[in-house]
Amino acid sequence: MSKLSLPSMHVTTLDNKLTVATDSMVSVDTASVGLWIGVGTRHEKSSENGLAHLIEHMLFKGTVKRDAVTIAREIENVGGHINAYTSREQTAYYAKVLSGDVPLAVELLADIVQNSVFDISELDCERSVVVREIAQINDTPDDVIFDYFQAAAFPNQSLGRPVLGSVEVVRSIKRQLLLNYIARMYGSESCVLAVAGLVDHERLVDIAAECFTALPKITTKALDFCHYVGGEIRVERELEQLHIILGFRGTSFFDPDFYTIQLLSVIYGGGMSSRLFQEVRERRGLAYSIYSFTSAYLDDGLLGVYLGTGVKEVVDAIPIVCDQLMSIPDTLNESELARAKVQIKSSLLMSRESTNSRSEHLANYFIIHGKAPNLTNIIDNIEAVDQSSIRRMVRRLLKNPPTLTSIGLTKTLENYDKICARLS
C-alpha cells in the first residue's frame, strides 16, 4: 500500500489499486460514505446510451446475499440512507450513517457493486421505472432543456448524449450488456472510497481491504475526445413559459482558466447581485428565473445562461443577455470581481460544514486530479484571477459559435444568426 496524509484528509491506495480517502470531522457524530467510480455516460457506446444509469438502478435490486428489500432495510434499520447518481463522467453510490455504522455502509456498498445478481425479472421492472423517469424529465422543460443544450454543443458525441438514455435503447438493454459494462468499467483503479465525518482512517482501510476483494483489476479505456461544435435546437411546445439556454464553449478541469470562468459566471449571472439577475429580473421584470452556470469535463466544458421568460418578454430579454456579456470587458471593476471571489470562497468553505459535500469533493477531486484537494491552493488560484483574466475569458468565449436551445412557443425568439451577430 502507498499512503499520503494531509491535515484533515488521509489517502491510502490498497494493493488492488482502490483509493481509500477520508476527511476527518471530529465535531460530528455522522459520516458520509461513498464509492465514486470514474465512469459514466461518456463511457457508453451510442447503442448503449442509458446503460450506466440503468446499472446504477440495478445495483439496488439484489445481491447474492441480499434482496432489494434487505438492502433498504439494513441501512434504514440504523437510521441511515443510501442513494446513487450517474453523471457524464462519474457514477456514485453513497450512504449517510452514524459514525458507528460506517462498517455496515462500506460492506453494503461493496456488496452491491461486486455481487449484484441482475435478476431478469428485476431488470424488466427497472427498465419500466427508467422509462417513466425519462418521461418525467421530458415533461419538465426546465430539466430536459439541459439535455438539448449538451446535444447542440456536442452533437453526435458521447458528451452530447443524455445520461438517462432513450426509451428505445433502455428497453433493448439485455442482462449480459450490464455484466459486460461492469466487467470492463468498474475497475478498482477507477474507484475512490471516500468517507467524511467522524471516521478512523486506519480502521476504514482495514474494512475496505476486507470488503473490496472482487473489483476487476482493469484500466478504464481512455475517453474519445469530444469536440465542441455549437448550434441550435428549437423545440416547439404549447407552454406558458419559454425556456432558453444560451451558452458557449468553456474550460476543462485542467484548463489554466478554470477558476477564471467560475468567477466570470458569478459576475455574469451567478447570484442576486449578478448583472443578469439585476438587469433582467429586478430592473425590468422580464423573467422569474435567470442564472449562469458552468459545466467542466475532462477535456472540454461549457458556460451557459438559463432563462425562463414569456413569449413577449423574450424580445427584450435576449438582447440584454447578449449585451451584458459583451459589456463586461469595458465595465468590470475591482469591487465586482472581489464580490465574486468572496462568493466562491464562501461557498467552498461553507460546504466544508457538510459531510456529504466533503466526501463528494474529496472523491471527485481525486478522480479528476489523482490527489486530494488542497484548499489553500484552490483559494490562491481564485485570488490570482484579475480583471485582465476575466476580459480575456470573455473574448475566448466569443471565439466559438454559441449554443442556443429553446423549448416553448419560440416564434418571437430571435433567430440564431441574429443572436450570433449580437455576440460578434
Q: Helix axis angle, 102-115 relative to 201-211, nearest 10°?
A: 30
Measured in Å, how far apart are the chain's first and last C-alpha atoms?
Answer: 55
Among residues 358, 372, 33, 419, the alpha carbon closest in space to that of 211 is found at 33
Q: Establish whether 44 is a catalytic residue.
A: no
Phi then psi for residue 271, to 5 deg, are -175, 180
For 268, phi then psi, to 5°, come to -70, -50
Contacts made by residues 153-157, CB under 8 angstroms, sequence distance 24+: 153/228, 153/229, 153/230, 153/231, 153/247, 153/249, 153/302, 153/403, 154/226, 154/227, 154/228, 154/229, 154/300, 155/229, 155/231, 157/224, 157/226, 157/227
Which residues, 6 or more positions from 182, have their beta carbon under 8 angstroms from its beta carbon? 55, 216
H or E element at residue 246? strand 242-249
Residue at 49: amino acid letter: N
Q: What angle do CA 387, 301, 341 make, to 5 degrees?
A: 30
Answer for the pair 27, 39: CB distance below 8 angstroms, yes or no. no
Handedness of CA 71, 39, 262, 323 (dihedral sign): negative
CA distances, 367 to each of 35, 37, 362, 363 (Å): 11, 8, 9, 6
Q: Indicate which residue of 56, 74, 126, 279 is catalytic.
A: 56
**Which residue in the block uniquely carries the three cell numbers 407552454?**
239
The Cα-based distances of 212 to 72, 285, 323, 371, 377 in angstroms read 20, 55, 54, 21, 32
Q: Is 265 helix (H, G, I), strand (E, B) or coil?
A: helix
Q: Is 58 helix (H, G, I), strand (E, B) or coil?
A: helix
Give the gyration radius of the chain's Cα atoms. Answer: 23
**Cell numbers 422569474 label which residue?**
288
Enumerate the active-site residues: 56
